[in-house]
């Protein structure tokens, strides 16, 4: 991509997860889980942004899944506001309606 890479952000997201506990048939069902990878020269990268809830039985969501710690809309809102200049009003009203609790993740972009 040459020079354009400095202004680029690529977001790769999956909402597919497996349970952290084995089920009754010795398998793992579809569970709560996701990951987002961000790449590009416009990012302040080289780090992992996450909270680790752990795999102890008391930490599992619904007793079976890795507990979600960040709403993906927060990641998207952060990228869209800081990188693309989308206003908070547009993000709340049009892009992600009824998502006020998902605050934009700040500090993703290089200054």
Task: Write the pLDDT tens digit of every residue in 67-102.
Answer: 889 999 999 999 999 999 999 999 999 999 999 999
Q: How far apart are CA 80 and CA 86, in angstroms?
A: 6
Is the pLDDT reported for residue 7 higher than 90? Answer: yes
Q: How confident is the model at residue 21 (pLDDT cuts 50, 70, 90)?
A: confident
Q: How confident is the model at residue 10 (pLDDT cuts 50, 70, 90)?
A: very high
pLDDT, one tens digit per residue, over 22-45 is 877 787 778 887 889 999 999 999
Which residue matches tokens 């069902």? 29
Torsion, Cα of 42, 36, 91, 70 (10° steps): -120
């Amino acid at each position: 991509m040459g020079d354009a890479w400095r202004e680029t952000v690529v977001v790769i997201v999956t909402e597919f997860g497996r349970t952290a506990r084995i089920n009754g048939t010795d398998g793992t069902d579809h569970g709560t889980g996701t990951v987002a990878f961000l790449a590009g020269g416009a990012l302040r990268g080289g780090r992992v942004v996450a909270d680790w809830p752990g795999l102890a039985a008391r930490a599992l969501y619904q007793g079976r899944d890795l507990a979600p710690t960040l709403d993906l809309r927060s990641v998207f809102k952060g990228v869209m506001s800081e990188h693309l200049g989308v206003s908070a009003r547009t993000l709340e009203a049009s892009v992600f309606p009824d998502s006020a609790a998902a605050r934009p993740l700040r500090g993703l972009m290089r200054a």
